[in-house]
Structure 1
Amino acid sequence: MTAFTPSIFDSFAFGIYPYIAMAIMFIGSWIRYDREQYTWKTSSSQIMEKKQLRKGSIAFHIGVIAIFFGHFAGLLMPKSVWHLLGITTEMKQLIAMGVGGFFGLICFYGLTILIIRRLNNPRVRANSSTMDIAILLLLYAQLILGLLSIFVSMGHLDGAEMLKLMTWAQSTMTFQSAAAVEAISGVHWIFKAHVFLGMTIFVLFPFSRLVHMLSVPVQYFRRQHQIVRQRFVR
């Protein structure tokens, strides 16, 4: 039996880089929150233009939130749990393709509007940093790769490559880098590009407006009500 020997690129990109990316994301976000809390915001440009922002932002956020939780459950939930729920590997792949494609198109629609607005509106463009534009374009590229991967998956509906990606994700989270690299080495290049670009977005996360994702307003639900009194006009 021949021992598996991964390429240098696969060993680094899928065995080492994920830990570098996660470390930069968590440590960088912590340092930014500790030292630069004033920058911990979305820097909304609504005051400059709100019609296109509202249209694009709602669609983008609906799509990206659904995609995030879909990836989280799809990659990290063991296949034994899916089978316990009566969902076979083939069924899971069809669900992932259908639901992922539906919300991916919603996200694509919203993100397209946001990018056009960011680049073509002079006021919004003038108040945009290089990182603002770069992170939008990277998210756009990542989304396109994800949508294209659906067409690749249509060529093999047995769910084999999906299982390999699940094994990679779960092995990475349990610090079994060798098993992770072996699992992902044989998948289609478009899946590899999708995973690698996802890790790169993690690297840029602390340096962009994406940090606002970590500021879920949980305290809003238990804060004291604000009493607002009407001013009487004499």
Structure 2
Amino acid sequence: MPIALHNFLFNVYPYICLAVFLMGSLARFDRDQYTWKSDSSQMLRAGQLRWGSNLFHIGILFLLFGHTVGLLTPHFMYEWLITAPQKQMLAIISGGTAGLVCFIGLSLLLHRRIADPRIRRTSHRTDLAILIILWVQLVLGLATLPASFSHRVDAHAMLVLADWAQRIVTFRPDAAGLVGLDWQFKVHMVLGMTIFLLFPFSRLVHVWSGLASVAYLARPYQLVRARRLNLPNKQQGGRP
């Protein structure tokens, strides 16, 4: 890969994706709130949806949490408890299991949307496109497992990726450490950032609603006070 393209993809492109992700989501919520939904097709056929949706959401939530904590937690915060190679093996086993569960669920959802004529006719092109992109991303993620396993002794891949991610969120981008990384990781990273870029323009925006529902549980109690009405009484000649 040319060094200029490498620097753009891993030093500049992440900020473009994050800016579009945040500002685009805000703009869509402000302008098109009626499109802020997942467009469920449960009424057309519920059986395969139940299995596919549950497996997909369980897997994807675990993967999102694992990637966030695994990449953004500095090494010194966990080295007293677990070594870097042990953490990488834990990530391989847990992430591989969650990825497989998510892959099965998403495959069921994708097959259902393509194979059922009624669902296919009522589906937007963006619905199908985002499912295919997520499916490819899961395949790429599973393809990184053999490469991660080959680095299990020194945890090189995990440490390099964590350093890059932490530099991105602290506005100190440096993609030099990614130069010698296996291609599976790089393609997986670029497609993952592209999903954030496409997020505001797809059905994925309903994820924000899920986060809002969690915050709703911690809301303060609503204070309701009785309103005193000045009603006429019998003594004043009013109607009782």
Quick one: distance in 2 between partners of 1:64 and 1:115?
A: 15
Distance 2:187 2:123 in 1: 27
* 1:230 paired residue number: none
Taking the aligned partners of 1:81 and 1:40, their CA distance within structure 2 comes to: 38
Structure 2 partner of 1:196 = 190
AA at the equivalent of 2:92: M
Q: Deviations over 1:56-109 (max 9, x none)?
A: 00000000000000000000000111103x110100100000000111111011
SS at match of 1:116: helix
Shift of 1:142: 0.6
Letter in 2 for 1:49: R
In the alignment, structure 1 residue 27 sits paired with structure 2 residue 23: yes
Normalised TM-score (structure 2): 0.87
Distance across 2 between alignment mates of 1:18 and 1:183: 16
Q: Which amino acid aligns with 1:61?
A: H
Q: Which residue of 1 aligns with 2:180?
A: 186
**Structure 1 alignment gaps of length 5 or more:** 1-5, 225-234
Instruction: Report the Cα distance in structure 2 between the residues aligned to 1:147 and 1:203, rounded to whole angstroms.
Output: 22
| Counterpart residue identity of residue 7, structure 1 | I
Change (3 A) 1:221 1:127: farther
Q: Percent identity?
A: 47
1:219 Cα shift? 2.9
* Aligned residue number for residue 9 of structure 1: 5
Q: Distance in 2 between matches of 1:197 and 1:150?
A: 17
Q: Spell out the pairing of 1:99-110 with structure 2 (5 A cutoff).
A: 99-110=94-105
Question: Offset at 1:184?
Answer: 1.7
CA root-mean-square deviation: 1.4
Amino acid at match of 1:77: T
1:47 maps to 43
Query: Could you say what secondary structure the match of 1:83 adopts?
Result: coil
Partner of 1:70: 66
Following TM superposition, by how much is the alpha carbon of 1:161 offset from its aligned partner in structure 2, in angstroms? 1.4
Q: Does 1:219 align with 2:213?
A: no
TM-score by length of structure 1 reads 0.89
CA offset at residue 121 of structure 1?
0.6
CA positional deviation for 1:123: 0.9
- Which of 154, 158, 161 is 2:157 aligned to? 161
- Residue 175 of structure 1 corresponds to 171
- State the Cα deviation string for residues 1-41 of structure 1 (Å, max 9, x = none): xxxxx701111100000000000110100000001000001
Gap runs ≥5 in structure 2: 223-240
**Cα deviation per residue 1:87-137 (whole Å; 9 max; x = unaligned)?**
101001000000001111110110010000010111110111111011001
**Matches of 2:194 and 2:41, distance apart in 1:** 26
Give secondary structure in 1 for the equivalent of 2:39: coil
